Chains A and B, each alone.
Chain A
Amino acid sequence: MFEKLGMYLQYPFVRYALIVGVLIALCSSLLGVTLVLKRFSFIGDGLSHVAFGAIAIASVLNLSNEMLLVLPITVVSAVILLRTGQNTRIKGDAAIAMISVGALGFGYLIMNIFSTSSNLSGDVCSTLFGSTSILTLSPKEVWLCVILSTIVLIIFILFYNKIFAVTFDENFARSAGTNAEGYNLLIAVVIAVIIVLAMNLVGSLLISALVIFPALSSMRLFHSFKTVTIFSAVLSVMCAFAGILISILAGTPVGSTIVAVDIAAFALCCIAGKIKG
C-alpha cells in the first residue's frame, strides 16, 4: 500500500491536490466554530448553491476564468444573507433557504437551456458533489488557492479577538464601541471566499460538512474558544489529508470520502467526550 502511495505522490497533480485540500480544510474549519455558534451552519450550504448558480452563468458565458464571476457573486450574496439575518421580515434561515434553492434551480435551468456541453448531467453532478477537478488543478489554480488561504489565515489571526467578541455577545461588543457590523461583514466575505475555494474540493452540496463537522467534533472535547478553534483546524486538516489519500488508493470520489472521514471523526469525538464526562 505504501509503495502504491509513494508512486502516486510522485505525480504533481496528487501533490497539488494534497496541498489545496489541506489548505481548504484549514480555512473552512476556522470560521466553523463562529458559524455554528451564531446559528449560521446553513449559510455555507446556501452560499455554495449561489456559487453553483454563478458557475452555471460563467459556463454559459464561456468565461475562461470562472473565479472572476463566481467570487464576487458569492461575496455579495454572503453580505445580503448576513444583513437579512438581523432586521428584516424574512428571518435568517428563510432567507438562506430562499437564496440557496433559488440559485440552485436557476443555475440548473440556464445550464440546461444554454449548455453546449455533451455531458450535461455529468457537469452538474461534478459541480454538486465535487469532482476529479481537485486532481486536475493547474499550478496557477494552486497558487491562487495558496494566496487566498494565506489571506484568510492572516485575517483570522489578526481579528481573532474581535471575532470572538462579536460571536459571543454582539450587543456587548457594540456597546463597547466595537464595529460589530463591520466584523460581521468581514466574516461574511471570508466565508464566501472559503466556499468558492472549497467548491473545488468537495463540490457545492458537501461544503457545509467541511465547515461544521470539525467545529462540532471539537466542541465535544474542548472548553475554551482557543482550544476548540485550534483542535478543529488540526482535525479538519487530518481528515482532509486522510480522505484524499483514501480516495486515491480506493478510487472513491474525493469530496464524499473526506466528508465520510469527518463524520467518523465526529463519532469518535462524541464517544471520547462522553468518556471524558
Chain B
Amino acid sequence: MNLLTIQDLSVGYDSVAVVEGLNFSVDEGDYLCIVGENGSGKTTLMKTLLHLQEPLRGQILTGGGLKKNEIGYLPQQTIVQKDFPASVREIVLSGCQGRCGLRPFYNKEEKKLADKNMERMGITPLKNRCYRDLSGGQQQRVLLARALCATQKILLLDEPVSGLDPKVTSEMYSLIEGLNREGITIIMISHDIASSVRYASHILHIGDTVFYGTRDAYLKSDIGRFFLAQQKGGEA
C-alpha cells in the first residue's frame, strides 16, 4: 500500500531549488534511508515532506488512509531543549497534541497512548525525570516515544544517532528496526551510509545525481559504490 507518493517534487528556499525533479514512493512497511552529502538538501526535503515548508513544484500525495499530519517526526535536538525543565511524561504526552485540535486538555485515551509508547521505548521508569538530566540515548527514546504518539503508521527520523556513542547508536538502530518489524514505516535521514545500507530496504540518494531504488540496486549502482567507498576512505 502506497503511503506517500512524491511526484516531480522540487524543494528549496526562496524559490531557489536545492533538489529538483524527485519521484519516489514509500510503501507501508518500507525502511527508506535518505542519504547525501552535507548541503545536498536532505533537511529541506524532510521539512517539505512534513509540510513545514511549501514545495517549489510538484506534489506530495498521501494514500493508505494516512493523513497529512500523521507523520511522526523525530527532529534533531535544539539548543532550547538542552535545558528545558520538562518531565519525560509531559514531553511524550505532547506528541498527542495533533489529535487534540482545539480541545485544551488531553483525554484518557491520549494519556494511555503516551503510557503505552513510554513502555514500548522502555522509558516508563524515567517518566517523572527531568528531560535535561537524561543521557543522549535516553533523550532520543523520549522523542521517539513522542513521535509514536503522533502517528500509527510512519516515522520520519532526522539523523537519529548523531552525537550518540557507538553502543547507544547500535541500540538506537535496533530499536528502530524493531519498530519497522512491527509494521511502522520508517523514513530516515542519515549520513551514516554504512548503517543505512545495512538496515534500509530502500535508498534515496540526493545530490548532483539522484538515485532511488532498493538497497540491493543501490549497492550495485555506480553512485552507491562510489559513495560507499568514499565514506570508508574518509573514516580510515
Contacts and interface: CB of A to CB of B under 8 A. Distances in A.
A176 B133 CA distance: 26
B73 A161 contact: no
B68 A159 contact: no
Contacts of B133: 223
Contact of B150 (A162, A176, A223, A224): A176
A168 B85 contact: no
B147 to A, nearest CB: 8
A69 B130 CA distance: 43
Contacts of A39: 80
B52 A174 contact: yes
A161 B85 contact: no
Given A39-B80, A162-B97, A175 B85 contact: no
A173 B51 contact: no
Given A169-B78, A172-B146, A223-B129, A177 B68 contact: yes
A225 B81 CA distance: 12
A155 to B, nearest CB: 10
A178 B52 contact: no
Contacts of B87: 223-226
A58 interface: no
Nearest to B149: A176
Contacts of B71: 175
A168 B104 contact: no
Interface stretch (B88-96, B164-172, B204-212): B88-96
Interface of B: 47, 50-52, 68-69, 71, 73, 75, 78, 80-81, 83-87, 90-91, 94-95, 97-98, 100, 104-106, 128-130, 133, 146-147, 150
